[in-house]
Amino acid sequence: MAEVPDHLLQRSRERRKALGLPVPGEEGGDEAPVAADAAPPAGGGGGGDLPPTGGGGDAGPPADDGGGDAGGGDTGGIPAHLLERSKRRRAALSGDAAPAAAAAGGGGTATAVAAPPAPTATGPGGHTQRLLTVVKSGSIQQTRAEAQDKVHVWPHLLVIELASILILLAAVTVFSALVRAPLLSLSDFNKTPNPSKAPWYFLGLQELLTMFHPMVAGVTIPGVGLGLLALAPFIDKNPSHKPKDRKFAIAIFTMFIMMWSVLVIIGSFFRGKGFNFVFPWNDGIFFEL
């Protein structure tokens, strides 16, 4: 049997004190509740079955003068319908339907009342409570593990990275076999090549040097671009992998890549002798790998 909450026990004790019934744990309250609540034999009046209210148990509340009609007024401050229900309950616990039948009858004719089935289990002091009253809510709730959107590094991530490395290695091998990359002649300080271009991955910076001051072209503009890329994960914290949900991060990265790609293309194919701007279809291509 589950433990009865303290507030229900306290309310039960207060109710028994109000009705003048013995309270378990106090003086005179150790006897069985069924014996204390046993209904007296039915008398001539309908109100003779009322519970005692005095501390000594000598007298009960006065009965109604109208012959014990269940629909009459209150007796001793207790509603009549509660008294009638108490009579029927005590009669059912004692196994005798006669007092309940006498109490239900008004003046002359007695009406038989079918006793409800006796409870199969009772709590402390003979009280019965509903199941949800004595069972804590946490013990009847089913707990389920929450779904987590996580996978293991191996094999889900490392297999993809390994496949990417193998594809890139194969592409570089095929490119190096098909495209010649001859070494130039030994350098001659008396003959400077014209135009003198940096490697293709530095041509973006060399192109900026033709437009701005070296401090601006070599430090300020690249620093601002790299700073925005570093701050993008802190500004856009959306964990989604969908492009429509990562508009800020994608916009910053796209602008950086497009700016650098345009500068590299101009420096590679649109710069001729003296690093002047030329059209490759007119003056040729001044670019070597």
Q: pLDDT tens, position by position, for the chain (289 residues)?
A: 567 788 888 888 888 888 888 877 765 544 444 444 444 444 444 444 444 444 444 444 444 444 444 444 445 578 888 888 888 888 888 875 454 445 544 444 444 455 555 555 555 555 555 555 555 555 556 566 666 778 888 888 899 999 999 999 999 999 999 988 777 778 888 888 888 888 888 888 999 998 899 999 889 998 998 888 888 888 888 888 888 888 888 888 898 899 889 999 998 899 988 888 899 898 888 877 6
Residue 221 and residue 270 in one domain:
yes
Residue 168 and residue 254 in one domain:
no
Report in angstroms the alpha-carbon separations of 168 from 160, 174, 201: 12, 10, 19
Rounded CA-CA distance 87/97 in Å is 10
Q: Does residue 80 lie in a domain region?
A: yes
CB contact at 8 A, 62 and 73: no
CB contact at 8 A, 232 and 253: yes
Which of 143, 164, 181 is the C-terminal boundary of a domain?
181
Query: What is residue 210's three-state secondary structure?
Result: coil
pLDDT of 9 reads: 85
pLDDT of 145 reads: 63
Rounded CA-CA distance 129/4 in Å is 8
Q: Does residue 226 lie in a domain region?
A: yes
At CA 142, angle to CA 140 and CA 147, rounded to 5?
Answer: 160
Q: Does residue 56 lie in a domain region?
A: yes
Q: How many domains, in total, are found in the chain?
A: 3
pLDDT of 216 reads: 92
CB contact at 8 A, 124 and 9: yes
Residue 175 and residue 200 in one domain:
no
pLDDT of 120 reads: 53
pLDDT of 2 reads: 62
Can you give the residue range of the structural domain that contains 24?
Answer: 6-135
pTM: 0.39
Give which of 259, 176, 254 is closest to 211, Cα–Cα. Answer: 259
Rounded CA-CA distance 171/29 in Å is 95
Contacts of 289 (CB under 8 A, 6+ apart): 179, 181, 200
Q: Where are the alpha helices (DSSP H) in the chain?
A: 6-19, 33-36, 80-94, 98-104, 131-134, 158-178, 203-209, 214-215, 221-235, 247-269, 280-283
Q: Does residue 207 lie in a domain region?
A: yes
Scan for tokens 């109490």, then name that residue: 103
Question: What six digits make up the tokens of 90?
Answer: 């005590």
Residue 278 and residue 251 in one domain:
yes
Residue 129 and residue 15 in one domain:
yes
